[in-house]
Amino acid sequence: MFSGYTDVYYWNRDSKKFITINQGGTSSSKTYSIMQVICNLAIEKKRIIHVVSESWPNLERGALTDFKRLIGDSEILRAALNNHLLKRGPFTFINGSELRFVTVDTSQNAKSGKRDILFLNEANGISYEIATELISRTQEKVFVDYNPNAKFWVHYELLNNEDTDIIISNYTHNKFCPEVTKKQVMEYKYKADTIGSTYWQNKWRVYGLGLTGAVDGVVFDNIHTCSLFPMNAKHVTYGLDFGFKNNHTALVKIGVYDKAVYGKELLYEQRLNSFQLVNRLLDLGITRNDKIIADPAGSEAISILQSKGFNVFPAKKGPDSIKAGIEMIQSMPLYITKDSTNWLIEAENYKYKPDTNGKFTNTPDDSFNDCWDGCRYVYAELFGVRTKKPKMKSGSNNNYSRKFAKF
């Protein structure tokens, strides 16, 4: 039906698993090839198909643009559509198939509607909660694609499933890759070989080879995982970070056991108002006896929670509180439960900012830090932030480890 197909098209077409994951570099044709497969499936028989991405700008520069290109290239596709001139759809086929390009901003919204085919486009911009709701309401087939900048929920939740295929592709698998794109990709390789910085090595690894980015420049590079939060942990306290704008409202549970700190993610959701948050806390079994340390920027939300009987206090924030909190977390062994999917994703992606030469600075990027912010609030409460360092005996590491020793 179309003028040309790449290896990636055939790999997706021939995959027999319920979920087919496409991890790929620049111009590997993963999105375009999946859209080719989807169009053929829509023409084959009546199907409801949803293409989902984080935002409309993502769709319009990605899957929707590729679909428009396919319409322009294929007379058969144009003839199969009732309304191929629409800008955003929904697009209907003469056999009754329907293709919708949609964005979903909350897990609650993801619960509405069912479909036969689902395509999660640029899936690393979609939260795990939303993806789970969408996948669970899909009958026949799920396609997923992304650039592998770092591990995210696909790596933790899907890759080892027996009903999942993984396709790793790069520009060499696309015989139609433009020469200018090849030249750009090879520039990444040249800089990786000559400059040798982690930044350019990762650029070549991710966008050139289609491989998962190496974990370099992360703020917390020695995080342990555990199966369960210890039942007899001491000093159990909850850290709450409010989700302003597009951030997540995150609630983490922190406790001390056997000279180590343990953490568990309990809530990670976007666009929660204060009254919805009250219901979430009640559903989680949080009581007036549970101490919650919250982001002081959310003073109104804190007042509402307090009025509903929750034991909530604003976090202590002094000068350089982020840096001090990071140092406290780094100074002690931290175990995060394996079911804390979003927190573990943050651990892979919370990184220091690179400078113009690709070398990492000492300033963390203000993203992938919602759980970490809640964690910092609890550390400041439990272990304190000292402005003056006491005299220390030889062999002591720092003031935080001394205070921690009493636990």
**Across 171-233, where does the E strand assignment appear?**
224-226
**pLDDT value at residue 106:** 85
**pLDDT value at residue 348:** 84
CATH assignment of 7-176, given 3.30.160.620, 3.90.1420.10, 3.40.50.1100, 3.40.50.300? 3.40.50.300
**pLDDT value at residue 216:** 67
Task: Name, in order, each residue with C-beta under 8 angstroms of 89's C-beta and a sequence gap of 6 or more.
Answer: 83, 99, 100, 101
Residue 106 is given by DSSP the state S
Q: Judge whether 7-176 and 224-405 match in fold.
A: no
How far from 17 is each of 85, 153, 310, CA to CA, in Å?
A: 33, 19, 46
CATH assignment of 224-405, given 2.40.10.220, 3.40.50.720, 3.30.420.280, 3.20.20.60? 3.30.420.280
**pLDDT value at residue 120:** 98
Asked if 20 and 141 touch (Cβ cutoff 8 Å), the reply is: yes
- CA dist 361 and 352 (Å) reads 6
SS3 content of the chain, % helix, strand, coil (to 5): 40, 25, 40
**Across 231-351, where does the E strand assignment appear?**
234-241, 248-257, 260-270, 291-294, 311-314, 334-337
**pLDDT value at residue 215:** 59
Q: Output the tens digit of pLDDT for each of the chain's 407 residues.
A: 677 999 999 999 999 999 999 999 999 999 999 999 999 999 999 999 999 999 999 999 999 999 999 999 999 999 999 999 999 999 999 999 999 999 998 888 899 889 999 999 999 999 999 999 999 999 999 999 999 888 889 988 898 789 999 999 999 999 999 999 999 999 999 998 888 777 788 889 899 999 887 656 789 977 899 999 999 999 999 999 999 767 899 999 999 999 999 999 999 998 899 999 999 999 999 999 999 999 999 999 999 999 999 999 999 877 788 999 999 999 889 999 999 999 998 998 898 888 776 677 888 988 899 999 999 999 999 987 444 444 444 444 444 444 444 44
Per-domain residue ranges for the chain? 7-176, 224-405
**pLDDT value at residue 245:** 65
Q: Which residues pair with 226 in a beta bridge?
A: 337
Q: pTM of the predicted model, to two decimals?
A: 0.66
The size of the chain, in residues, is 407
Closest CA to 71 of 162, 172, 141, 3: 3
